[in-house]
A and B are shown apart, each in its own frame.
Chain A
Amino acid sequence: MPTTSTSSAAWRRAEARLVAWFAEQGRRPAPFQRAAWKHWANGSHGLVHAPTGTGKTLAAAGGPLIDGVLNPGTGMRLLWITPLRSLATDTTQHLTAAVQAMGLDWRVLRRTGDSGSAERARLRRGACELLVTTPESLALLLSYPDARERFARLRGVVVDEWHELVGNKRGTLLQLGLTRLRRWMPEARIWGLSATLGNLDEALHALAGGGVLVGARAQKKTIIDTALPEGGERFPWAGHLGLTQLPRVLRAVMEARSSLVFANTRSQAELWHEALAAVWPEAPETLALHHGSIDPKLRFATEEGLRVGALRCVVATSSLDLGVDFASVERVIQVGSPKSVARLLQRAGRSGHQPGMPSRILCVPTHLLELAEVDAARRALAEGHLEPRHPMRGCLDVLAQHLMTMALGGGFTADEAYAEVTSSLAYAHLPRDRFDAVLAYLCTGGSALASYPEYHKLADVDGRYVVESSRIARMHRLSIGTITSDGSLQVRYMKGARLGSVEESFLSRLRPGDRFLFAGRHLELIRVRDMTAYVRPAPNRRGGVPRWMGGRMPLSGELSDELRSSLALPDPRSKEMQALGPLLGIQRTQSAVPSPDETLCERTRTREGDYLFVYPFAGRLAHEGLAAVIAWRLARMQPGDYGYAVNDYGLTITAARMPALDAETMRQLLHPAGLRRDIRASVNLSELAKRQFREIARVAGLVFNGYPAQAKTLRQLQASSGLLFDVLRRHDPAHPLLWQAEREVLDQQLDFTRLRACLLRIARSRLLWQEPKRLSPLAFPLWVERLRGGIATDDWKSRVERMVATLEGAA
């Protein structure tokens, strides 16, 4: 595919057409936009990074549009990939306008999971030059035998919001899809659009294997305000809901024309929406709720309301972090700590779209210690410490799914496929034996150790792997993607309108007639049938709010580092630290406030039991792993039953009777030597891997969610991933997906890298051992946390004896 010299007259004429279109709208292309167009013409890959609302879309679209003018022709020329279906509609409109302005006769088509059958049929006939789609729909397109033909005229791919994809399995799946396209069309350019990240080079490498970084010069200023407790007001020591701040939030919302209130979890968003609705002084329809479990139709309606300025306030979760710009939003409010500097920046960027205006965000701490997190975030931002998002490496479940896609999209030989997948960053270091293990899983069911008669997903026909059964092909296409909604039920009115989905574990505790809060409405459960919960409106709520799994983000490493400094060396000018002063005073009197090179451990006996507290400030994930390790090591010192709880500052371990502890023993308990071995031993005892296995089993096609509208006939094939996990553990312990589950527990759930770094830091630090008589201010929030898990050295026999004894004692 020829590149075009940007000094040629033809290229400059085409560029002039684009510049004229900018001028028609009273704008001029920014230098970074023109730079991106030139790089495209030169045939480079690249990544455009700039804050939202600065024109990234046209930076990436300009190159291919100019190219389209210079090289006319039909067939799919440009693929535009967006992580959000809602974004696809907007992008399609935007790009259609640009295509028309350039005088191109391109047909622009959108294909996402909720495309109509007319759009799909048009696409099947190959009738478009520009396709806007999602990573999942791309994978689906690649699973048809004519995939290579369909993409034969492709000149480039643009991935929008790459920062949202780069760190997760959707990004891995997309990397594999892009690798496929690049292998077929080595000249096709791959471009990404991204918000600012701590690791842009790596993000570019994952996307395209290399290329140019193109950034907007002008950085937007961000101002962080805090809703501070007022004089004499008691502010809670713990908690994460923060409803005591309601009056201040309402006042802030009323001062602006239109506001976004961000909460950190869906449950928190539901409760804040309910609280605001109860005191809402305006028409009820001007307040709305937006989160990922609400039905897409309702979410689109809310987004549309924001766009046209009909809404005064939307309570949202990260579901509104990305996507369409809402020019009307004047004020952004963050309830609770944002947990990461990048996230704070992104949310703040949802306001102040006028050029030159700063972004502004009001942080609403839910308890006293979160004041320090706001202070820490401001410090990190001032120093430009943004979190990286690292691409995931070697996910075997995504690989299994992609190999099925490759088998359907023309078939492959093992050597070819291995060479192809290892040319992506995600699988660059994948050993051949692990690749072969995944292939064996697809062909025979599992590892060579166990027997799986009758099973064959992939068939080996003369050295080429293909899918022979049309049933398996259909099941695979229905299961493409890495977003799992395992165990969730649809919620809908009897009349038919859908409200969204709720986890089965929540609904299983409800009986018909029970009331609950969901999608900002009070509902009464009528009945549950065929994975659907039928509800009707209720006048009030007696019951609970659904909780969704995997809600809470850990405090980022960048923010934790700043937090330790904020607490140890408070800036006297910081309003947050001034408000926190009295609390830190109590901490200092009862125990100690650790400096950055100290580690604080406390032991306190309360009426409920004996508690050990450790404060590494390494985020809740690393603390969960560390808690398991300490509990495991304690259980080896003295057998028993150790439960633990964690938060972002530290961890607590409780037991009926703790062994004797002092600074020296703590040093041994926290020693990094043998960490990997001990964490494996303790993780094996817990249920963590089983939880992780849910997603893996779905992605790898081990469990099948069923055909739409055919749930009943397939009931025979329903098995919970937990059951499969137990069966595999017993019969096929070498199964590659079990290996994947354990690795994900280490890497993601327990943040092993950070955990090890944290123990090395503790080993170098001075250990402060304190035995406060009462719970210290740092200990209190941990004490009220729910126990997350524990280590027990007993067996079923002694458990049964104990449980029976407890029951008989109570009788």
Chain B
Amino acid sequence: MSTRDVVIAGERLTLHPERAVFWHAQGTLLVSDVHFGKGAVFRRAGIAVPSGDTEDDLQRLDALFDELAPRRLVILGDLVHGAATERSAWVDDVRAWRQRHAAVEMVLVAGNHDRHFDVASLGISVQPDRLAAPPFVLSHHPHPHKEGYVLAGHVHPGTVVRDGWRKHRLPAFVFDRDVGMLPAFGTLTGLHEITALPGRQVFAATPAGVIPTR
């Protein structure tokens, strides 16, 4: 799987095809819109989604930890999808996973979905609006901020890549002048197709690597 390096606000960032960003200088792994427990919320509402989405996502995080050995994980909002009940097995899975990686600092910049669940109870510290990490401002909503280049989530950006007669709809990393957006990390998440704009850099995350698009 090939990664791709970009330089944003003077810092080298590695875009990973598993829909994550690694910031080398700080040893920080960034992911966004994980939506743990989304399948469970659906099932409770009478929509049959098989279980396994949260387990898959935890395994993907494990693989990223093995590969990149981050000191810190920052989640750019929407770590969980909705409220949990005592029957929700995913909560125990996430808590066990957190304990396995006790040495890694984990911070959530709270997103709109996170108000349904007490994330701090999982052993992950919570920042209400944004986290200053110069030269970046880490936030859930992609609004420009005077204190730095904003890295954000929320949008679930996606793009359509043409390949001969085919079109592939893929999650994307998007970098504008003042704001960068990460693709949603969660397995059970949809895409919002973003439009091409002058000065906008878009990278598509394919199963085999990150590719630039025009």
A residues near B, CB below 8 A?
A: 441, 445-446, 450-455, 457, 469, 471-472, 475, 508, 511, 641, 643, 654, 701-704, 716-720, 723-724, 727-728, 730-732, 787, 789-790, 792, 795-797, 799-800, 802-804, 807, 810
From A720, A732, A790, A807, contact of B212 by CB (8 A): A807
Confirm or deny: B146 has a beta carbon within 8 angstroms of a beta carbon on chain A: no
B 69-85 binary contact with A (CB < 8 Å = 1; else 0): 00000000000011001
Inter-chain contacts of B187 with A (CB < 8 A): 727
- Distance to closest chain B CB from A15 (angstroms): 52
Alpha-carbon separation in the docked complex, A789 to B190 (Å)? 23
Alpha-carbon separation in the docked complex, A764 to B46 (Å)? 53
Q: Please judge, given known A-B contacts A511-B195, A716-B41, whether A800 and B211 are in contact too, CB under 8 Å.
A: yes
* Cβ contact within 8 Å between B208 and A796: yes
From B85, B190, B193, B208, contact of A454 by CB (8 A): B85
Inter-chain contacts of A471 with B (CB < 8 A): 45-46
- Distance to closest chain A CB from B199 (angstroms): 17
Inter-chain contacts of B85 with A (CB < 8 A): 454
Inter-chain contacts of A716 with B (CB < 8 A): 41, 81-82, 113
Q: A452-B43, A457-B46 are in contact. List 9 more A-B contacts (CB 8 A).
A: A451-B51, A452-B49, A702-B47, A719-B188, A727-B49, A727-B50, A787-B165, A797-B209, A804-B212
- Distance to closest chain B CB from A322 (angstroms): 35
- Distance to closest chain B CB from A723 (angstroms): 6
* Cβ contact within 8 Å between A719 and B211: no
List 29 A-B residue pairs with CB atoms under 8 Å apart, sorted by A's residue number. A445-B50, A451-B50, A451-B52, A452-B49, A452-B51, A454-B40, A454-B43, A455-B43, A455-B44, A457-B46, A641-B165, A643-B164, A701-B46, A703-B47, A704-B47, A716-B41, A716-B82, A716-B113, A717-B42, A723-B188, A731-B51, A795-B208, A796-B208, A800-B208, A803-B161, A803-B163, A807-B211, A807-B212, A810-B214
Q: Which of A454, A654, A702, A804 has the most CB of B within 10 A?
A: A454
Confirm or deny: B89 has a beta carbon within 8 angstroms of a beta carbon on chain A: yes
* Cβ contact within 8 Å between A453 and B42: no
Q: Please judge, given known A-B contacts A453-B87, A702-B48, A796-B206, whether A723 and B190 are in contact too, CB under 8 Å.
A: yes
* Cβ contact within 8 Å between A732 and B50: yes
* Cβ contact within 8 Å between B207 and A796: yes
* Cβ contact within 8 Å between B166 and A792: yes
* Cβ contact within 8 Å between B47 and A453: no
Q: Which of B2, B46, B195 has the most CB of A within 10 A?
A: B46
Inter-chain contacts of B188 with A (CB < 8 A): 719, 723, 727
Q: Please judge, given known A-B contacts A511-B195, A719-B190, A799-B208, whether A453 and B43 are in contact too, CB under 8 Å.
A: yes
Q: Please judge, given known A-B contacts A720-B190, A732-B50, A796-B206, whether A454 and B44 are in contact too, CB under 8 Å.
A: yes
B 182-201 binary contact with A (CB < 8 Å = 1; else 0): 00000111100101000000
The 3 lowest CB-CB distance pairs between A and B, nearest first, are A643-B165, A796-B208, A455-B43
Alpha-carbon separation in the docked complex, A654 to B166 (Å)? 13
* Cβ contact within 8 Å between B88 and A454: yes
* Cβ contact within 8 Å between B53 and A727: yes
Q: Please judge, given known A-B contacts A716-B82, A796-B207, A807-B214, whether A452 and B163 are in contact too, CB under 8 Å.
A: no
- Distance to closest chain B CB from A535 (angstroms): 19
Alpha-carbon separation in the docked complex, A475 to B206 (Å)? 37
Alpha-carbon separation in the docked complex, A656 to B51 (Å)? 43
- Distance to closest chain A CB from B81 (angstroms): 7
* Cβ contact within 8 Å between B46 and A475: yes
Inter-chain contacts of B2 with A (CB < 8 A): 800
> Chain B: how many interface residues by the 8 Å CB criterion?
42
Q: Please judge, given known A-B contacts A455-B44, A643-B165, A731-B52, whether A800 and B206 are in contact too, CB under 8 Å.
A: yes
Q: Please judge, given known A-B contacts A643-B165, A716-B82, whether A455 and B212 are in contact too, CB under 8 Å.
A: no
- Give the contacts of B21-45 with A (CB-CB under 8 A): 39-45
* Cβ contact within 8 Å between B41 and A717: yes
- Give the contacts of B82-122 with A (CB-CB under 8 A): 82, 85, 87-89, 113
Inter-chain contacts of A511 with B (CB < 8 A): 195
- Distance to closest chain A CB from B186 (angstroms): 10
User: Across the two chains, which residue of chain B brings its CB closest to A786?
Assistant: B165
* Cβ contact within 8 Å between A641 and B48: no
B 46-73 binary contact with A (CB < 8 Å = 1; else 0): 1111111100000000000000000000
Alpha-carbon separation in the docked complex, A724 to B53 (Å)? 11
- Distance to closest chain B CB from A724 (angstroms): 6
Inter-chain contacts of B209 with A (CB < 8 A): 796-797, 800
* Cβ contact within 8 Å between A445 and B43: yes
- Distance to closest chain B CB from A531 (angstroms): 14
User: Across the two chains, which residue of chain B brings its CB closest to A794?
Assistant: B163
- Distance to closest chain B CB from A155 (angstroms): 37
Inter-chain contacts of A790 with B (CB < 8 A): 164-166
- Distance to closest chain B CB from A784 (angstroms): 15
Inter-chain contacts of B82 with A (CB < 8 A): 716
Inter-chain contacts of B161 with A (CB < 8 A): 803
Inter-chain contacts of B53 with A (CB < 8 A): 727
* Cβ contact within 8 Å between A452 and B48: yes
Inter-chain contacts of A641 with B (CB < 8 A): 164-165
- Distance to closest chain B CB from A137 (angstroms): 22
From A731, A787, A789, contact of B50 by CB (8 A): A731
Alpha-carbon separation in the docked complex, A742 to B43 (Å)? 24
Alpha-carbon separation in the docked complex, A613 to B164 (Å)? 19
- Distance to closest chain A CB from B75 (angstroms): 18
* Cβ contact within 8 Å between A728 and B50: yes
Inter-chain contacts of A792 with B (CB < 8 A): 164, 166
Q: Which of B49, B87, B213 has the most CB of A within 10 A?
A: B49
Inter-chain contacts of A800 with B (CB < 8 A): 2, 206, 208-209, 211
- Distance to closest chain A CB from B184 (angstroms): 11
- Distance to closest chain B CB from A200 (angstroms): 40
User: Across the two chains, which residue of chain A brings its CB closest to B168?
Assistant: A799
- Distance to closest chain A CB from B170 (angstroms): 10
Alpha-carbon separation in the docked complex, A787 to B162 (Å)? 13
Inter-chain contacts of B113 with A (CB < 8 A): 716
From B39, B164, B193, contact of A508 by CB (8 A): B193
Alpha-carbon separation in the docked complex, A702 to B52 (Å)? 17
* Cβ contact within 8 Å between A799 and B163: yes
Inter-chain contacts of B88 with A (CB < 8 A): 454
Alpha-carbon separation in the docked complex, A787 to B165 (Å)? 6
- Distance to closest chain A CB from B163 (angstroms): 6
- Distance to closest chain B CB from A782 (angstroms): 14
Q: Please judge, given known A-B contacts A717-B42, A800-B209, whether A450 and B47 are in contact too, CB under 8 Å.
A: no
Alpha-carbon separation in the docked complex, A446 to B39 (Å)? 13
* Cβ contact within 8 Å between A472 and B46: yes
Inter-chain contacts of A446 with B (CB < 8 A): 48, 50
